[in-house]
Amino acid sequence: MSSRERAEVAVVTGASAGVGRAVAREFGRHKAHVGLIARDEDRLETARREIEEAGGRALVLPLDVADHAAVFDAAERVERELGPIDIWINNAMTTIFAPLAEIEPEEFKRATEVTYLGCVYGTQAALQRMLARDSGTILQVGSALAYRSIPLQAPYCGAKHAIVGFTDSLRCELIHAKSKVRITVVHLPAMNTPQFSWCRTRLPRHPQPVPPIFEPEVAARAIHHAAHHHRREVFVGFPTVKAIYGQDLVPGFADRYLGRNGFDSQQTNKPVTPDRPDNLFHTVPGDYAAHGVFTDQAVNFSLQSWANLRRAPLAFAAGVLGIGAFLWQRKKGS
């Protein structure tokens, strides 16, 4: 099979559950060969079966993205068994919900190592190979919280901010080198993923994503599209747009609003169970997949995202309609 005919090779970190699981499925649906990186081997095996049933091929790579050597070894194995990596998606994350005063230094460090440094290590592993070929795409899964932080999630917000700064620096270096390697960031709104059932928390009530909530397939479709179209950043969902531009326009108002409302909006009315497991340092066993426990509140479509991914054809259509309306008015007035 020639390079043009070979299957696309993608790597997804955090692929065992949540957005990463949905992204892996989306690439499988497009018949890609997918390297699956996460800590839980059983869930990765289930993801592999889903991809292969959809017509793709998958390679299970159980590892912790905070281990840079393991990430580099995984990249080497993907290229050895699946072929040259075309797309690398950095999605893995972990966090703790708590006021900063209640977070231990080791907890903050761990969340940062996985969410931020895991992204750095994945980028380095992919870049090492892509630069040599002068081709490939690296995609960072960002968040509205990369620009507008909220209370109770300082480690996660800090890591997502860091990813944006790191990626902007690398983007400048690629431009300087006239490299054809592409890098993009897809910023997500609140997603219905298992994160809220297994993250470490010191909140009195069960954590929840700040409504409105979207199903992870909304993110997966946007990520797949962004990986194949050269966009600097992609904002998914109107809440993401509102948060990012609101931070630019009225940051002080956002501080006060979130100070008043950001605690209750991130908690349900159900208490946290005392024996609740968490995945900060160790994986949580169980049959978790893409969706979390908020399916009744989540939607599987975003009009903003749909339009954002179709800007060029929509702009063309608007132009045609505008010209048509102008000519009709001109004819009518003559």
User: If DSSP codes are grouped into helix, strand and coil, which group holds residue 1?
Assistant: coil
Distance CA 109, CA 302 (A): 34
155-164 mean pLDDT: 98
Q: pLDDT digits over 258-301, tens only?
A: 999 999 999 999 999 988 999 999 999 999 999 999 999 999 98
pLDDT for residue 281: 98
Written as one letter, the residue type at 123 is T
Long-range pairs, 270-275, Cβ under 8 A, ≥24: 270/205, 270/206, 271/204, 271/205, 271/206, 272/201, 272/203, 272/204, 272/205, 272/206
Domains of the chain: 9-301 (3.40.50.720)
Distance CA 100, CA 93 (A): 18
Q: pLDDT digits over 196-225, tens only?
A: 999 999 999 999 999 999 999 999 999 999
Is a pLDDT exceeding 90 seen at residue 305?
no
Distance CA 310, CA 217 (A): 17
| pLDDT category of residue 306 using cuts at 50, 70 and 90 | confident
| Strands of the 9-13 sheet, one edge to the other | 57-62, 33-38, 9-13, 87-90, 137-143, 182-188, 233-235
pLDDT for residue 169: 98
